[in-house]
A and B are shown apart, each in its own frame.
Chain A
Amino acid sequence: MQNRQQAQAAGVRRTVIRSLAALLGMFAFAFALVPLYDVFCRITGINGKVDATAQSIVHEEVDTSRYVNVQFITRGSAGLPWQMSVEMRQMSVHPGQTAEVDFTFSNNSPYETWGRAVPSVSPSNATRHLRKVSCFCFEEQQLQGDERLTIPLVFQLARDLPEEINTITLVYTLYPVQETLRHTSLNGTRNNKKAARETI
C-alpha cells in the first residue's frame, strides 16, 4: 500500500514535469513560428512578398507569342499624408521583356516625412517570376514638405512564368516609417539618377 502510494507520487511528479516541458516547448514554438513563417514565405513566395533586393536583367529571348497583363494598384495608409500614383493602371508585356513604369509620390503635408511602399504580388505563384531590376520599394523614401517625387519601376517577367497566369497584380501600400526605426537609405534614393524631385 505504502509502496503503491510512493510509486503513484513519483509517477505524478514525472507526468507533471513532462507536461510542463511540453508546455514551454509549445509556447516557444508559437514564437518560433514567426520567423519560420517569414522564411517559409520568402522561399516559396506564397504570401506575395517580393524579394526586396534588385535583380539583374536576364537577357533571354522575348516570348512574343504571349501577352501578360500587369496591373498596378497603389494604396495610402493612415498616418502618412502621402499620395502615390502610377503613370498607367495596367500594361501588357511579353515574358522576357523589360518594362518601365513611373510612380509618383507626393507629400501633401508641409513637413518632411519618411515612408515606404510595401509591394504585394497576386496571384502569389507569380511572385518568384517577377524580377525587379530597380524599385523604390527596396528602400525607405524621404519627402520634404510639399515635395513630389517620380521614380520608375523597372521589371521583367521571367520566361518561365506559369502558363495559366495571364494577369499579375502588383499592389503598393504606403506605410509611415518612424524616425527611430529608419535605416540609412537616404543616399540610395538621392543617388537614383532617374528620380525626379520637384516641389508642388
Chain B
Amino acid sequence: MKYAFSFLAVLALVLIAWLGSQIPGMQYLFGVAIPYLAIMIFLGGFVYRVVQWAKSPVPFSIPTTCGQGKSLDFIKQDKLDCPTKTSEVVARMFLEIFAFRSLFRNTKSELHEGPKITHESSRWLWIAALLFHYSFLVIAIRHMRLFLNPVPEWLQFLDFLDSGAMLQIGSPLLYASSLGLLGGVAFLFGRRLVNRNVRYISLANDYFPLFLIFAIAVTGMLMRYILRTDIDIISIKELLVGLVTLSPVINVKIGSIFYIHVFLVSALLVYFPFSKLMHAGGVFMSPTRNMANDSREKRHINPWNDPTIKPHSYAGYEDDFREFMVEAGLPVEKELPPKKDEE
C-alpha cells in the first residue's frame, strides 16, 4: 500500500494544478509564482544539504577498496578500485558519476535447496539506471530551447539527434529520450514491485519520485502529442523566456495540461533537496568514494580529536605504570631499575 499512497499524492498534485489553473487569475500563481519559489527552494535546499554534509567530519579514512591495494612492486595495483593518488580518485569518481560503476557490480543472491546460496551478476538495474538518468539529462537539456532566445546551434543539433534517433515518427517528432525515460521509470518501478527483496525495503519515499517523474513524462508527452488545445508553443516560450529574464507575462490562455506539467516539475524541484533524490549531490560527497586509500602513507587525523590530548605511546604507558605491572606479574619491555638500597 506504500505505492498507493505515493500514487494518490501525485494524483492530488495533478488535480490541484488542473482545477487551480482554471480559476481566473490563478495562472500567475501556477505559471510564475510557484515555479520561481520552486527553483529558489531547489537551489537553496541543495546548497544547504551540501554544506551540512561538508560540515560533518570524516573521523576515519574509509574508502571502499574493491581491488588490489598498492603493495610490493611486483603486485599489480588496481588503480581504479583501490586508488592511492588524487588523480586515481578523480578517475574513479568520474566513472562512478558518469557510468554508475558501482551499479555495474550489482549482484543477485538466491537461496536454493540444500540450502545453497548463489550469487550472480545482475546488470539490468545498471542498464535501466543509465537509460533513465541519461534520458532525463537529455530531456532537461533540450527543454532549454524553450528558455533560450536565440537558441544556440548545439541545442538544435541535440534536438535533431534525439528526434532523428526515432526516424521521424509522428508530428511533432517523437523523441528517443521520452521513450527512454518512460522505459527507465517503468523498469525502476517494476523492479520494486516484482523483486520481493527490494519490495520489502521500498518505502513511500521510494515510490513517490518514480510516480512523480512518470507523471511529468506523461503530461509532457500528452501536451506535445495529444492534448494540444491552446498549446501554442510561441506563447509558452514567451512565458518561459520571461521567467528566466525576470519579466514573465501570460498574455493568452494556455491549456491546463501545461500548468499541470509545470506544477509537477515544481513539486519535483521542491521535493528534490529533502529526499533521496539528493544522491545527485551525495555521490560527490560520499567519503567511501572520494577518499584515497593511502592510510599507510598519510595519517588521517580525526577532526574530532581534542588537540590538548597528546598521543600516548605504549612506551609512555609502561613508563607510567611499570611498577604496578611488575607487581601484578605482567610482562614489561623494560625492567624496573635496580633498587639502590639493596646494593
The finding on whether chains A and B are genuine partners in a shared complex, rather than unrelated, reads no
Residues of A at under 8 Å CB distance from B?
Answer: none
